[in-house]
């Protein structure tokens, strides 16, 4: 089962390399039936990305691959240029990540905060986007938005 999931993820990542040059390829992994994940994919598509969406029976393999601890988890994981974008992260910090290319595994907006891209409701406070380092130390803040 794990081999099948890893193989699926590998081929899905390869498939994103054939998109138009003006869009940044992205692969979003989600649990089946999650509508906010689809809304987040629509948000990314509207903001310069070309998103392929894959529903998996077990997201643990993807989250483990990128060092996403329980306290950093969102409801979906998007892979862009080798980085994990965990949860409903706004495009500003994503584009910063892609231009700076820091030595981290990715960035996360844990949980499903109201008012974040793809989520309904009003934003109650600035979002703290955290660095995914793969370590056990407290996650450093990558950006506040």
Please tell me the distance from the alpha carbon of residue 62 to that of residue 105, in angstroms, as a whole number: 12
Strands 128-132 and 141-144: antiparallel
**Full-model pTM:** 0.85
pLDDT score of 34 more than 70: yes
Is residue 78 a contact partner of residue 45, using CB atoms and an 8 Å limit?
no
- List, for residues 82-91, the tens digit of each pLDDT value: 999 999 999 9
Is it the case that residue 19 has pLDDT exceeding 80?
Answer: no
Residue with more model confidence, 109 or 9: 109
Average pLDDT estimate for 90-116: 97
CB 97, CB 109: distance < 8 Å: no
* Percentages of the chain per state (helix, strand, coil), in multiples of 5: 30, 25, 40
């Amino acid at each position: 089962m794990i081999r099948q999931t890893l193989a699926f993820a590998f081929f899905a990542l390869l498939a994103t390399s054939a998109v138009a040059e003006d869009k940044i390829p992205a692969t979003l992994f989600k649990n089946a039936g999650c509508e906010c994940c689809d809304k987040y994919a629509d948000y990314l598509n509207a903001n310069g990305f070309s998103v392929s969406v894959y529903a998996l029976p077990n997201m643990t393999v993807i989250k483990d691959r990128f060092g996403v601890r329980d306290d950093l988890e969102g409801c979906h994981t998007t892979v862009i240029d080798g980085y994990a974008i965990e949860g409903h992260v706004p495009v500003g910090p994503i584009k910063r990540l892609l231009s700076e290319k820091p030595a981290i595994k990715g960035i996360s907006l844990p949980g499903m905060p109201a008012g974040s891209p793809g989520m309904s409701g009003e934003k109650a406070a600035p979002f703290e986007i955290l660095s995914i380092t793969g370590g056990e130390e407290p996650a450093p803040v990558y950006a506040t938005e």
